Structure 1
Amino acid sequence: MIIVPEAAIADLITRANAFTAVEQVFAAMSSGDAYNFPVIREAIGHEDALYGFKGGFDGKGMALGLKAGGYWPHNMERRGLINHQSTVFLFDPDTGKVAAMVGGNLLTALRTAAASSVSIKHLARKDAKVMGMIGAGHQAKFQLRAALETHQFEKVIGWNYHPEMLPGLAEVAEEAGVPFEVGDLDGMVEADVVISITSVFSPIFGAAHISPGTHLACMGTDTIGKQECETDLVAKSTIFTDEIAQSITLGEAQHAVKAGLKTKDDITEIGAVINGKHPGRTSDDEITLFDGTGVGLQDLAVAASIVDLAIEKGMATEVDF
């Protein structure tokens, strides 16, 4: 079994590696070559933690396994650890024998950012110049770094409930040589691309805040009840997602579907656009919305890439298991 500890991940995987892995697995999902297993997520009744499993099988990339982990809300304040903790396990699809154990914390941040950037590449207007960020937490920095690599953006506008966190986004924009501006939600009408990455259960913004032609990536909604944007915005958008079943049950689309404003037939897998089976954006005035719910196959694809890189660079630890 190959072991790649959390501490080694940063020296192995790049944003480009993560992007390629996620793009390829989205395409495999849409073509029927890969599928996710049902998600298990439970409140364990200890430390207010949520713990669960996401897994799947990619018959094209030959990745089989699961990610185990969850959210421990008191980690940072009590132990100096990040609140999200996870580990990915890969198995040999030919024999079922365990093949690898990979640290999953940085991996999760990179694969989530890769998903939104894949959607931006395939769905945003080619002339997009202004990047909008709603949310400025830990994951937002990863989102912005990846997004800025998809287009020649000329400005970033940022908003957060806690504005004292916005300097973190400003640093990322500065690294990329792009001016950063603190804005309000009304100012998002200037943005050509907007990423929302919050954990709210009540909508923050709606159709009044988003201009025609904008591409929106809603990345914070991954639980029943969560909602980042008003249903009026979802209703007027063309919706794409990583997995339709999750989109309508725990993604941003869940509320519009429940209200009868959208059905599952109104939602398209991003993989269909990647494969050329769906045209994606059809006009410069169309609002496209990517409902990024997060699927286990993303984790497996990036973990498999990390294992390959670790072996190639001589950084893998092998144990007899």
Structure 2
Amino acid sequence: MRFLPEAESAALVNEELAFTAVRSALIAAAEPQSSVFPAVACHGSDPANRFTVKPGASASLAGVKVGSYWPGNAAAGQPRHNSVVLLLDQSVGRVEAVVEAGVVNAYRTAAADAVAASVLARDDARTLAIFGTGHQALYECLALARVRPVSTILVVARSATSGAEFLSRLAARGLTGTLAPAEEACAAADIIVTATTATAPLFDAAWVRPGTHVASMGSDAAGKQELPPALLTAARLFCDLPSQSVRIGELQHVAALVAEGTLTVTAIGDVLAGRAPGRRSPDDITVFDSSGIALQDLFIAEALLRAG
């Protein structure tokens, strides 16, 4: 059995590796020979300490990802988010590799939004509005700046302090950001990304102009919500996995409309494989619901093992 510890996986991962692996995973997720099983939400003896188990299988890979969130770790100088991926040897059913993937998980999550933006955002998209200044937000900005000519980043922060700290982190990575209120950021944005733990809409649908691409990253459990339902009913909807998105993703808030056929949801893998259209006109408003699927973790773990 191979073991790739956190220090090694973090040293190996980069935006290009993550983008390539996640793109392949999203295509595989839309193929009939793949299976993505329901995510199981769990908690430790302290209910505030949470972890999620996400299993999946493709034509070539099978395994499980365990992602944890221990909020008290920050006080001890430890990461609050951690992740580990187990790959199975399908010939005998034993674990053939264990990959610690705390840092990798941030790259993988951002890569999914970048892959979607590569076919859904306008080619000339230059202004990015990012809601959130936490662990994931920086990776989102870096990943999106690789696939579109982003020159302006408008940061919507809960506080001036967290906003200023985030601007410094952006600057350290060569990106320039400006703090902006939500309405102003949405009205100017070509791409909007929400990277929060919100349980209510972060902005008004009327603030989003035609041609905008919107990615919801934070809604990955029942009750979470970042986008206004009015936006979902007006936009063209895409996601990583339709069956999961209507259960725990942003699309849970319009699940009844999807079930009755009023709204259509397209798996982004079908767009990437050429089986479904992505952006059809400069005025399309597109929404990508990224609730996260195990195949992304399995594919990036395999890519890291090859690179190592």
TM-score range, shorter chain: over 0.9
Measure the CA separation in 1 of the matches of 2:183 and 2:176: 19
Measure the CA separation in 2 of the matches of 1:211 and 1:250: 27
* Cα RMSD, aligned residues only: 1.9
Deviation of 1:264 (Å): 8.3
Deviation of 1:67 (Å): 1.1
Which residue of 105, 129, 149 maps to 1:152?
149
Measure the CA separation in 1 of the matches of 2:220 and 2:73: 21
Alpha-carbon contact 2:233-2:263 (below 8 Å) kept: no
Measure the CA separation in 2 of the matches of 1:251 and 1:263: 18
Which residue of 258, 269, 272 maps to 2:267?
269
Counterpart in the other structure of 1:299: 297
Counterpart in the other structure of 2:35: 35
Counterpart in the other structure of 1:4: 4
Counterpart in the other structure of 1:216: 214
Which residue of 54, 79, 83 maps to 1:82?
79
Gaps of 5+ in 2: none
The 3-state SS of whatever aligns with 1:48 is coil
Alpha-carbon contact 1:223-1:250 (below 8 Å) kept: yes
Measure the CA separation in 2 of the matches of 1:136 and 1:262: 37
C-alpha offsets along residues 61-86 of structure 1, whole Å, 9 cap, x if unaligned?
A: x2211112322221212x22111222
Work out the percentage of aligned pairs sharing the same amino acid. Answer: 33
Structure-2 change in CA distance of 1:276 and 1:168 (3 Å): farther
Larger displacement relative to structure 2 (85-94 or 246-255): 85-94
Q: Does 1:118 align with 2:120?
A: no
Deviation of 1:131 (Å): 1.0
The 5 A counterparts of 1:280-295 are: 280-295=278-293
Structure-2 change in CA distance of 1:21 and 1:264 (3 Å): farther
Measure the CA separation in 2 of the matches of 1:109 and 1:171: 19
Deviation of 1:266 (Å): 0.9
The 5 A counterparts of 1:13-24 are: 13-24=13-24
Measure the CA separation in 1 of the matches of 2:77 and 2:261: 43
Gaps of 5+ in 1: 311-321
Alpha-carbon contact 1:30-1:269 (below 8 Å) kept: yes
Measure the CA separation in 1 of the matches of 2:27 and 2:152: 31
Measure the CA separation in 2 of the matches of 1:213 and 1:261: 26
Larger displacement relative to structure 2 (253-262 or 115-124): 253-262
Query: Structure 2-normalised TM-score?
Result: 0.94
Query: Structure 1-normalised TM-score?
Result: 0.90
Structure-2 change in CA distance of 1:260 and 1:290 (3 Å): closer
Structure-2 change in CA distance of 1:263 and 1:250 (3 Å): farther
Deviation of 1:259 (Å): 6.6
Deviation of 1:51 (Å): 2.4
Larger displacement relative to structure 2 (285-294 or 94-103): 94-103
